[in-house]
Structure 1
């Protein structure tokens, strides 16, 4: 079955890659002077980059679609041709991007082209045998976007046409329905509609501005995070936002990561950098005093804001930003403590993810790459420790052989959201590099100084990205314990405002996030407004409720309970919040 699935995926990749060539031919029919770049198959579809004489319109996409259907119907054979470099450069003499691609082909690699009658492209393949294998009713051009040539901001901006393609119209229809659902859940749109956060290009792209409603949710996440860390044997630390160049030279970031760091700032005749990671700062705390094996393990956690220079084209709402708060922790332990620490940190990671409503969780184990630091026996022991922890938790997992970082093996945990999309969140990563670079030691029971094991660990990944994933998972309808306003108090008329204020103050005194809508709107309009903002509970208060000191609860999902005594309602609220119920 797995082989059949793999073959089906390979078949779909060939279909999509072939469709990208069909699209390129259609575009060149419309714009003969266009420069063509690259057109790969990607997850769920394909794209092609063009340098065009003008911007494309929706009508252009319609025309390209019709031309593609006509090309498909002409039953054109995809023929592979091997040529010399000189021949290839001559064939693409008017295509500057193809010329550059030809120059980049290694000397020992053959130059292959694919021809489909009226169009020839530089390509390794593979493709379907003929356009007759492509279904003209099973693809759709989705949208256009700007894309720098080869992803470099100093290169020309090209027009990228994104499309999806399938083997049959049913699969296309199902995918388009999923896209509609994804659009409804887009965290950028929901963030604006629900007044949660914003971005301001003029003040700096990729930097998040948290509004009061979004900050309420974030605070609920962070408070739970802190409480659970203390309950599970961690201590909190706080570290600076900048550090001298020495720190980043010693850690290796300036050597390996400088392009993703913000430029240096000079202070006191020394270069300082905004931190892209928290780990060197935690190491400095460790180095502040000598340690015995009796002191270990140390479990130090920090919600530390870091800064990374992501390319402008890669920025994507909360999911890819330039300033974010990493829910970081570092564990320093002896070799003898390693197995127990890994087992515990994996258990804790799963507990945290499940607490936020994620139940479908898979693991991926990445092992030693060809180039690595650290003794082989340490790598073997650490990798086996990670493997045993995964198996002890009964998780399904895949192995990425050689996919670990050069400084240690790792586990990545991936969750599936409400519509089946997979997101990588938690990471548990060994590090054999920084303890060596910073000369970290502890005195073991035999009186000899030894290196501690260092484990990086992020449960949620970053608060910003996790918030975006959570927002899309719940489509903005956060469970009761996370909702920015848990309750809206709605008097049916102004004569009940006095009792409504009493209810408001009682709920506030109980730590409930509540507000009163005493506007001049009609009751139904107030309910609609609260539902629009996805408030879980709406308390409708009229004469009967006032006389009985009760509340009538209208839930976000439309259900209603009438005449609940106020103290009983408060008890119910606490129980539902404490057990993390959706409503």
Structure 2
């Protein structure tokens, strides 16, 4: 019997008969581990748990407790859903792609004859359950590219044929379960019977390969978990997320709207929404001024030649809008950095001037495809709390640490936890390998020195430099990309930015691009869902509403309203001849933090009776005392 040596992650070395599978290795260690194992890394390559080990190798078992293992599980569930759909609708439907995504998976289908609706989800799920109970083996098969093309062409799967034709490999892999065959790199679960809990959640349109010139597909979203308890918990979160949907609450609270007449992805701010935004922007200005930033402003359009110098024209123009003025081409800015560099270049700089921190609440426009627009979370016109720090290389670490501290303090104010990742050089980029290494090392070393946990996101940096992305965790444990820190040695070179050093010679500064909240629109969307519209008092656009019991108190209530407004309280009044209970319920629906009830006793005593939106009644107090009460509560936040 030929033996192979298998090295496990703990450094131990074990011997197994040649042809032993990773699942069999797991079973030799323990049945519980075997039940949790869904795939493996063999000498670093992600493979099926059923792949025979033919040579000495390093082996890492991939279990359901990891994100990678859950992705394998969900990708297998995507194949199960496609199998069910094909079983139900046959040649009326073609399959395309079905990846795992965060919290679930989707599969894109093409059909000229059939339109999927949520009413069919039960039917599809029952078919999936039937296929899972059958415990069909999921088997990998490798074949020549030409054979695979012929096979899928005979099956009438034109989209699979396109995918194979675009692959550079001469050999491709397919996975079979029962009578269903799908092109796939894998890995997958050993059999369909391991899929225990899944649920279809929604259906949407999607263009083939994300290009609006291509065929429109039908994307069925779903989720899957290793057990029904986890699935139930997630579905409860989904229901809560629907209640918190910022588009729904934005309409109910009269914060903002969108209009096809204005154009897709362009936000129209109503009075309360504009006030909320103004409060956030004023907060931003104060916080930046406290930390030594200078407030600057740049133009909305800049000559196209400037965008060519920066590299945006070559690497980013598909996301830009252009216009022409007096036969001169201009680009509408998608970013604020160019004007900030022009400010820096407007005079000779000394090392004694650095660091310079330029801050702008800059409105930008980006050409986002209509299919990805989503309320405030993905728009075409938005305002960033953008800043660019120009410093000496020796100052770089301290500046990055300063931004990280800034993020920590601001997220603490809003009550957000967050995660971080470093995104490295993408395929489409500018600059030398040396500059990219210096920039990436600067970010890595700063995070390591700070002792903050982070992950590496290969190939997802900006085209001009690597970045630290900070993802907020909201009340439903969802992740949102907001803050980012980008390190850039390239644009200062392209724009010939210099400073005079202590040696009297010219030197090149480093530029840090960074946002704290990110896009104001996106951040407000996240805030709405995080707080379910119940904003903390300090950012609530309306902090209190004065309500009278009868018309007898209307004059006194009017005086209280004016007194509070003069003291800076954001206050409304409701003096309608309606029942008190009706007015209070309306104020609660509008999620106003405090209702100030005024009856005959309050009018006689010169007081108000505050009632919190939670239903809690406070002791009566004078209007002046209520102002101090409001100020004290707001002071707790910042």
Deviation by residue 1:202-227 (Cα, 9 ceiling, x = unmatched): 32111111111111110110011111
Deviation by residue 1:94-132 (Cα, 9 ceiling, x = unmatched): 221011011011134x21111112211112222222222
> Cα 1:89–1:371, aligned 2, differ >3 Å: closer, same or farther?
closer
Asked if the contact 2:435–2:490 (Cα under 8 Å) also holds between the matched residues in 1, the reply is no
2:159 is matched with which residue? 97
1:342 is matched with which residue? 400
1:547-566 paired onto structure 2 within 5 Å:
547-566=604-623
2:23 is matched with which residue? none
1:410-489 paired onto structure 2 within 5 Å:
410-489=467-546
> Cα 1:401–1:176, aligned 2, differ >3 Å: closer, same or farther?
closer
1:65 is matched with which residue? 125
Instruction: Give how far 1:391 is off.
Output: 5.0
1:284 is matched with which residue? 342
Greater mean alpha carbon deviation, residues 74-83 or residues 205-214: 74-83
For the residues of structure 2 that align with 1:83 and 1:390, how far apart are their CA atoms? 46
> Cα 1:204–1:426, aligned 2, differ >3 Å: closer, same or farther?
same
Instruction: Give how far 1:355 is off.
Output: 1.9
Instruction: Give how far 1:43 is off.
Output: 2.1
Instruction: Give how far 1:335 is off.
Output: 2.4
Asked if the contact 1:80–1:114 (Cα under 8 Å) also holds between the matched residues in 2, the reply is yes
Instruction: Give how far 1:16 is off.
Output: 2.1
1:121-270 paired onto structure 2 within 5 Å:
121-135=182-196, 138-262=197-321, 264-270=322-328
Whether 1:397 aligns to 2:457 is: no
For the residues of structure 1 that align with 2:436 and 2:186, how far apart are their CA atoms? 38
Asked if the contact 1:489–1:504 (Cα under 8 Å) also holds between the matched residues in 2, the reply is yes
Asked if the contact 1:261–1:309 (Cα under 8 Å) also holds between the matched residues in 2, the reply is yes
Secondary structure of 1:179's partner? helix
Asked if the contact 1:490–1:538 (Cα under 8 Å) also holds between the matched residues in 2, the reply is yes
For the residues of structure 2 that align with 1:139 and 1:413, how far apart are their CA atoms? 30
Asked if the contact 2:443–2:487 (Cα under 8 Å) also holds between the matched residues in 1, the reply is no
> Cα 1:77–1:335, aligned 2, differ >3 Å: closer, same or farther?
closer
Asked if the contact 2:475–2:531 (Cα under 8 Å) also holds between the matched residues in 1, the reply is yes
1:351-390 paired onto structure 2 within 5 Å:
351-358=409-416, 360-366=417-423, 382-383=439-440, 385-387=442-444, 389-390=446-447
Greater mean alpha carbon deviation, residues 399-408 or residues 304-313: 399-408
- The partner residue of 2:566 within 497, 500, 509 is 509
> Cα 1:100–1:379, aligned 2, differ >3 Å: closer, same or farther?
closer
Greater mean alpha carbon deviation, residues 299-308 or residues 364-373: 364-373
> Cα 1:388–1:133, aligned 2, differ >3 Å: closer, same or farther?
closer
> Cα 1:177–1:403, aligned 2, differ >3 Å: closer, same or farther?
same
Greater mean alpha carbon deviation, residues 330-339 or residues 524-533: 330-339
1:306-325 paired onto structure 2 within 5 Å:
306-325=364-383
Deviation by residue 1:77-105 (Cα, 9 ceiling, x = unmatched): 22222222222122211221011011011
Asked if the contact 1:441–1:450 (Cα under 8 Å) also holds between the matched residues in 2, the reply is yes
1:492 is matched with which residue? 549
1:297-308 paired onto structure 2 within 5 Å:
297-308=355-366
Greater mean alpha carbon deviation, residues 78-87 or residues 241-250: 78-87
> Cα 1:371–1:267, aligned 2, differ >3 Å: closer, same or farther?
closer
> Cα 1:42–1:340, aligned 2, differ >3 Å: closer, same or farther?
closer
For the residues of structure 2 that align with 1:368 and 1:156, how far apart are their CA atoms? 32
- The partner residue of 1:76 within 123, 129, 136 is 136
Secondary structure of 1:201's partner? coil
Secondary structure of 2:517's partner? coil
For the residues of structure 2 that align with 1:570 and 1:134, how far apart are their CA atoms? 58
Deviation by residue 1:361-401 (Cα, 9 ceiling, x = unmatched): 33323456788766777656655554454355553333446
Unmatched 5+ stretches in structure 2: 1-8, 11-32, 37-61
Deviation by residue 1:493-544 (Cα, 9 ceiling, x = unmatched): 1110111111101111111110110112210111101100000010001111
For the residues of structure 1 that align with 2:445 and 2:160, how far apart are their CA atoms? 49
**Which structure's relative contact order is higher, taking Cα pairs within 8 Å and 6+ residues apart?**
1
Instruction: Give how far 1:405 is off.
Output: 4.0
1:578 is matched with which residue? 635
Whether 1:87 aligns to 2:143 is: no
2:63 is matched with which residue? 7
> Cα 1:559–1:30, aligned 2, differ >3 Å: closer, same or farther?
same
> Cα 1:401–1:470, aligned 2, differ >3 Å: closer, same or farther?
same
TM-score (norm 1): 0.94
For the residues of structure 2 that align with 1:407 and 1:163, how far apart are their CA atoms? 36
Q: CA RMSD in A?
A: 2.2
1:106 is matched with which residue? 168
Secondary structure of 2:131's partner? helix
Asked if the contact 2:118–2:203 (Cα under 8 Å) also holds between the matched residues in 1, the reply is no
Task: Count matched residues.
Answer: 575
Instruction: Give how far 1:414 is off.
Output: 2.3
> Cα 1:394–1:361, aligned 2, differ >3 Å: closer, same or farther?
farther
